[in-house]
Amino acid sequence: MKTTLILAAVCSSAAISWGFHDAMENGTPVASVTSRQSAMGGVWALPSGGPASVFLNPAELSMLDGPTVTGSAAIIEWESSIIGENTLNILDTGTGGAGTLAFGMPLSGRLAAGAGIARVSDFGFNGLCTIMEQVGPGQFQVSSIQLLDAQGSLWEAGGGISAELSDWLTVGVSGTLRFGSGSWDCRNVFVNQSVPDDTLSEAWEVSDPAVHGGVLIPLEFGTFALSGTNATDRYLSRVAFGFQRDFRILDGSTLGFEFDLQDIEDRPSWSGMFSAFLAEMIPSVRSTYSVGFTRPADPNRTALSMGTGARIFLGNVDLDLGISWISRSRTGSLFPEPFVDSVDDAGTYFSVGMNWRL
User: What type of residue sits at position 139?
Assistant: Q
Q: Which segments of the chain does DSSP mark as H helices, in order?
A: 2-17, 35-39
Question: Going residue by residue through the chain (358 aa), what tens digit of pLDDT does each one get?
Answer: 444 444 444 454 444 444 455 677 787 788 788 999 989 988 999 999 999 999 999 999 999 999 999 999 998 887 777 666 554 555 666 677 889 999 999 998 799 999 999 999 888 877 777 777 777 777 777 778 878 788 899 999 999 999 999 999 999 999 999 999 999 888 888 888 888 888 888 899 999 999 999 999 999 989 999 999 999 999 989 999 999 998 877 777 899 999 999 888 887 888 899 999 988 778 899 999 999 987 766 555 667 889 999 999 999 999 999 998 887 766 655 544 555 566 677 788 899 999 999 9
**What residues contact residue 189 under an 8 Å CB cut-off, 6+ apart?**
144, 145, 146, 147, 197
Residue 232 DSSP label? B
Start-to-end C-alpha separation, the chain:
61
pLDDT of residue 84: 62
pLDDT of residue 332: 58
Report which of 289, 279, 342 is spatially closest to residue 84, judged by C-alpha positions: 342
Q: Which domain holds residue 123?
A: 2-357
pLDDT of residue 63: 94
Q: Please, are residues 35 and 351 in contact by the beta-carbon 8 Å criterion?
A: yes
CA distance 342 to 84: 6
* Number of domains into which the chain is organized: 1
CA distance 305 to 260: 14
CATH number of the domain where residue 23 is located: 2.40.160.60
DSSP for 91-147 reads EEEEEEEEEEEEEEEE-STTEEEEEEEEEEEE--EEEEEEEEEEEETTEEEEEEEEE
